[in-house]
């Protein structure tokens, strides 16, 4: 019998989360704000089932108790008014909460009124209800949407996420967004190992994205932690004991022990390279383009974007950790620098670039090359 859902209303103390660094090279967001805690979809593999997200709540109530921040719209207006405009992840179109409270639409109105660019990662096709506001925000600044799904295999959906919105409905929502001129793609997150990570499953999802107007596909491996890991393994166990044994081996998970948080580095690299190859085959990107507002510091954001993308390339190459971290720290430094690095290079050359934190001789030379090669960088 289907469990009833309970709503618990409360007034939150704050709603906007400010990240220390922009989320590159994935979603490129700086802020996030969500009106609900808990999710009716209740996907077994969802990382949010435990840990900080639910606080002291029983993880078993993740999909049966939805906490509602009744003051979400007012808080968002107050808090965003104090922040510099940057990309915010906002809204939560889950049903039946949105049917009753409609907080996501109110939050979109705040984002529009204050001129913030918007990013949405969502499993629910209900977000097309607010296509009028999304289109207006996109006209004024920018909107990027990622429809989240693990794959487009109905059997795997029934096994791992039986209450989530239908796959076809998500794809039709993607098509509507694309037709409205909104940047949209797919997040294959998480890719389910050993059952959904083969070429056919991945290409089916990438082809479906292309056919419904998507521009890119992001893929991420499944992490395993705490109660979420146990629930996910329970689904795997129902699919067969041989599969459970292979899953345990992948996560180095001994019976009675705890799994590794993520699969081996080589697995993640092979997955990323396969997705990149399949995206290229179908004319899609395997990264989401970054929104950058015009202005004198736009050049910093664009150069930082290239540095962030380099970290992803190095991860796929399984490069040494120190090399990856060198690019990541340089990306943070450039992204957050308060002066135009194009102007710094114009007046001081590579020596001027080396004065920036985390930028040594090699990276200064690489950045200088980008500034010389692309007129838009040189212009700031």
Contact 238, 314 (CB under 8 A): no
In CATH, what number is assigned to the domain containing residue 348? 1.10.150.110
Q: Is the overall model pTM greater than 0.75, yes or no?
A: yes
Classify residue 271: in a domain, yes or no.
no
Asked if residue 190 and residue 48 are part of one domain, the reply reads: yes
Asked if residue 305 and residue 216 are part of one domain, the reply reads: no
Classify residue 318: in a domain, yes or no.
yes
**CA-to-CA distance for 30 and 89, rounded, in angstroms?**
8
pLDDT bin (cut points 50, 70, 90) of residue 376 is: low
State the residue range of the domain holding 338: 298-378
Classify residue 228: in a domain, yes or no.
no
Asked if residue 180 and residue 90 are part of one domain, the reply reads: yes
Classify residue 245: in a domain, yes or no.
no
Contact 221, 193 (CB under 8 A): yes
Mean pLDDT, the chain, rounded, equals 95
pLDDT tens, position by position, 321-374: 999 999 999 999 999 999 999 999 999 999 999 999 999 999 999 999 999 987
Asked if residue 116 and residue 27 are part of one domain, the reply reads: yes
Domain count within the chain: 2
- Write the burial class of residue 285 (CB in 10 Å: 0-12 exposed, 13-18 middle, 19+ buried): middle
Report CA 92 to chain centroid distance, whole Å: 14
Counted residue by residue, the chain has a size of 380
Asked if residue 168 and residue 36 are part of one domain, the reply reads: yes
Which of 223, 243, 267 terminates a domain? The answer is 223
Q: Which residues are CB-contacts of 136 (< 8 A; sequence separation ≥ 6)? A: 112
Asked if residue 304 and residue 218 are part of one domain, the reply reads: no
Classify residue 272: in a domain, yes or no.
no
What is the model's pLDDT at position 195? 97
Question: C-alpha dihedral over 157, 158, 164, 165, to 10 degrees?
Answer: 80
Residue 11 has pLDDT above 70, yes or no: yes
pLDDT tens, position by position, 81-113: 999 999 999 999 998 999 999 999 999 999 999
Asked if residue 181 and residue 84 are part of one domain, the reply reads: yes
pLDDT bin (cut points 50, 70, 90) of residue 378 is: low
**CA-to-CA distance for 217 and 215, rounded, in angstroms?**
7
Backbone angles phi, psi at 221, to 5 degrees: -75, 160
CA 75, 39, 32 angle in degrees (round to 5)?
35
Asked if residue 174 and residue 69 are part of one domain, the reply reads: yes
**CA-to-CA distance for 321 and 334, rounded, in angstroms?**
20
What is the model's pLDDT at position 54? 81
Classify residue 151: in a domain, yes or no.
yes
Asked if residue 73 and residue 214 are part of one domain, the reply reads: yes
Asked if residue 338 and residue 195 are part of one domain, the reply reads: no
Residue 1 has pLDDT above 70, yes or no: no
Count of beta carbons in the 10 Å neighbourhood of residue 170? 23
311: left (phi over 0), alpha (psi -120 to 50) or beta: alpha
Which of 178, 205, 223 terminates a domain? The answer is 223
pLDDT tens, position by position, 174-185: 999 999 999 999
Asked if residue 76 and residue 203 are part of one domain, the reply reads: yes
Classify residue 206: in a domain, yes or no.
yes
In CATH, what number is assigned to the domain containing residue 117? 3.20.20.70
What is the model's pLDDT at position 52? 74
Residue 8 has pLDDT above 80, yes or no: yes
Asked if residue 303 and residue 208 are part of one domain, the reply reads: no
Instruction: List residues bridging with 184 in a β-sheet.
Output: 145
Classify residue 98: in a domain, yes or no.
yes
Contact 374, 363 (CB under 8 A): no
Helix (H, G, I), strand (E, B) or coil at 71: coil
Which of 189, 204, 223 terminates a domain? The answer is 223
């Amino acid at each position: 019998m289907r469990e009833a859902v309970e709503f618990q209303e409360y007034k939150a103390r704050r709603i906007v989360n400010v990240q220390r660094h922009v989320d590159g090279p994935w979603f490129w967001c700086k802020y996030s704000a969500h009106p609900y805690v808990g999710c009716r979809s209740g996907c077994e593999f969802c990382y949010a089932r435990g840990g900080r997200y639910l606080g002291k709540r029983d993880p078993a109530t993740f999909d049966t108790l939805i906490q509602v921040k009744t003051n979400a719209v007012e808080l968002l207006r107050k808090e965003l008014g104090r922040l510099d405009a940057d990309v915010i992840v906002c809204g939560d179109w889950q049903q039946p909460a949105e049917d009753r409270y409609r907080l996501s639409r109110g939050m979109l109105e705040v984002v529009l009124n204050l001129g913030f660019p918007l990013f949405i990662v969502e499993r629910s096709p209900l977000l097309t209800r607010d296509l009028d506001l999304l289109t207006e925000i996109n006209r004024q600044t920018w909107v990027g949407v990622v429809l989240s799904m693990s794959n487009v295999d109905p059997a795997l959906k029934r096994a791992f996420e039986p209450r989530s919105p239908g796959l076809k409905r998500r794809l039709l929502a993607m098509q509507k967004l694309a037709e409205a001129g909104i940047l949209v793609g797919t997040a294959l997150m998480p890719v389910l190992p050993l059952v959904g990570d083969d070429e056919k499953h991945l290409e089916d999802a990438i082809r479906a994205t292309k056919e419904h107007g998507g521009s890119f596909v992001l893929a991420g491996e499944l992490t395993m932690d705490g109660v979420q890991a146990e629930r996910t393994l329970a689904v795997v166990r129902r699919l067969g004991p041989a599969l459970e044994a292979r899953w345990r081996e992948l996560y180095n998970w001994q019976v009675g022990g705890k799994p590794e948080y993520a699969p081996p580095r080589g697995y993640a690299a092979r997955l990323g390279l396969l997705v990149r190859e399949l995206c290229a085959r179908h004319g899609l990107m395997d990264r989401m383009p970054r929104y950058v507002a015009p202005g004198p510091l736009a050049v910093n954001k664009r150069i930082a974007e290239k540095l962030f993308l380099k970290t992803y390339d190095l991860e796929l190459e399984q490069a040494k950790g120190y090399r990856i971290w060198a690019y990541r720290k340089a990306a943070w430094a450039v992204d957050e620098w308060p002066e135009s690095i194009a102007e710094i290079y114009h007046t001081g050359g590579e020596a001027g670039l080396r004065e920036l934190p985390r930028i040594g001789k090699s990276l200064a030379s690489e950045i200088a090359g980008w500034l010389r090669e692309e007129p838009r960088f040189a212009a700031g």
